[in-house]
Amino acid sequence: MSDKQFNFNNIDSLNIYNKIIQNFNKINIKEIKPTTKNINEYIFEGDLNILVDELVYNIFKEFNEGKNREIIKQHVLDYVNNHRIISQEICSWLSNNQNNSNSTYLLGYFNYNGIGTDPNKQKAIELYQKAAKLENRVAQLNLANMHIYGKEIDSDYDLAFELSKKLAEVECASGMNNLGYCYNNGIGTDINNDKAFELFKKAADLGNSYGINSLGCCYEEGIGTDANKQKAFELYKKAADLGNSTGMSNLGYCYYGGIGTDINEQKAFELFQEAADLGSDAAQYNLAWIYENGDGIKDMNQAIYWYKKSAEQEYEIAQNKLKELLKI
């Protein structure tokens, strides 16, 4: 479901310690030197394998909660920095230690996001595909997202549906939301709004912010359930409170149009601004529209700026509006 138009400090340190002890029990009791020359005098081979597993676990956890991709990336950078590891060195270590699906996935993630290396989305996709074949859940989730929503890859809707179905079967909330989206939009399967609603509800019940937002769309539009604008508003607010930019944009839309709540254009503007800053293409378009047409807030320079931001993400309505304004 889409927007409407117009410390990482919770890691279980005891768990990390136990894993380190288990790892050392499998090797000779002697110091193992780092495989990368200067990686860190305090980080050893066994520790690096554990750090990779912990990083991948936390990336999956945050994707499964529906966290913003840029926020997840910042948490990964914080994690690496907090462990006094230079990102270029762990990237190099990963390149030379492709011994399991987590290291394969993480090298793909680093290439996709330009961590420790220049961004290389094609290489990232190839690594995600390799890890996904090894049943790596977060790689499967990232691939499904690309095939459903992304623009970096030729969409394979059948694969998107199969990956989402596989993830939903193991209670992955993001997988459930994606599968609901497939049923709602006929991606790799026939449209089935009842199934879509059921899956969105399951994802929402598991705390996935996109599932919560999607369930709000169902209640607003009467998809697989009776329309209930008040319920939609409440769900959008819950998703927004969890930091979901799509929920923020949809909540702003409710305030602007008086959907399930009183009209409050100031709140709408603030929500569009917050969601736009987080990268929501629809919120960027809505913010630009307000700058172009809003009462007492008109600023064509800002309008064009945000139309451009939205258009750069291939948001078609923004692209058309920009062409109209700039006569290009």
Note whether 164 and 80 are same-domain residues.
Answer: no
**Do 164 and 93 lie in a common domain?**
no
What is residue 46's predicted lDDT score, i.e. its pLDDT? 60
Shared domain for 53 and 119, answered yes or no, is yes
Question: Once rounded to an integer, what is the mean pLDDT over residues 277-293?
Answer: 95
Q: How confident is the model at residue 41 (pLDDT cuts 50, 70, 90)?
A: very low
CB–CB of 200/210 below 8 Å? no
Q: In angstroms, rounded to a whole number, what is the distance separating the alpha carbons of residues 99 and 233?
A: 47
Is residue 235 situated within a structural domain? no
For residue 307, being part of any structural domain is answered with: no
pLDDT in tens, 222-277: 999 999 999 999 999 999 999 999 999 999 999 999 999 999 999 999 999 999 99
User: CA-to-CA distance for 195 and 180, rounded, in angstroms?
Assistant: 7
Q: Contact at 8 Å (CB) between 101 and 135?
A: yes
161 and 214 in a single domain? The answer is yes
The reported pLDDT for the residue numbered 47 is 78
- Residues of the domain holding 168: 156-227
Domain boundary among 169, 197, 227: 227
- Rounded to a whole number of angstroms, the CA Rg of the chain reads 22
- pLDDT over threshold 50, residue 8: no
Q: Which of 227, 248, 267 is at the close of a domain?
A: 227
Would 291 be classed as within a structural domain? no
Question: What mean pLDDT do residues 67-76 have?
Answer: 94
Q: Cα–chain-centroid distance for residue 175?
A: 12
- Number of domains within the chain: 2
Q: Which residues contact 176 (CB under 8 A, 6 or more apart)?
A: 167, 168, 199, 200, 202, 203, 206, 208, 211
Same domain, 78 and 113: yes
pTM higher than 0.85:
no
Average pLDDT, the chain: 87
Domain with residue 196: its CATH number is 1.25.40.10
pLDDT band for 45, please (50, 70, 90 cuts). low
Between the alpha carbon of residue 219 and those of residues 6, 20, 200, 252, the distances in Å are 20, 48, 11, 16
- Residue 19 has a pLDDT of 40
Asked if residue 211 has pLDDT above 60, the reply is yes
Distance, CA of 241 to CA of 234 (rounded, Å)? 10
Residue 107 lies in a domain: yes
User: What does the angle CA 219 – CA 248 – CA 320 come to, to the nearest 5 degrees?
Assistant: 95
186 plus 106 within the same structural domain: no
Q: Examine residue 214 and state whether it is found in any structural domain, yes or no.
A: yes
Same domain, yes or no: 107 and 160: no
Calculate the alpha carbon distances from 201 to 160, 177, 218, 246 in Å: 20, 9, 10, 17
Taking alpha carbons only, the member of 10, 5, 135, 111 closest to residue 62 is 10
Mean pLDDT across 191-212: 98
CA atoms lying within 13 Å on the CB side of residue 120: 13
Res. 188 pLDDT band, cuts 50 70 90? very high
Q: Which of 84, 109, 142 is the last residue of a domain?
A: 142
Q: Domain check: are 54 and 126 in the same one?
A: yes
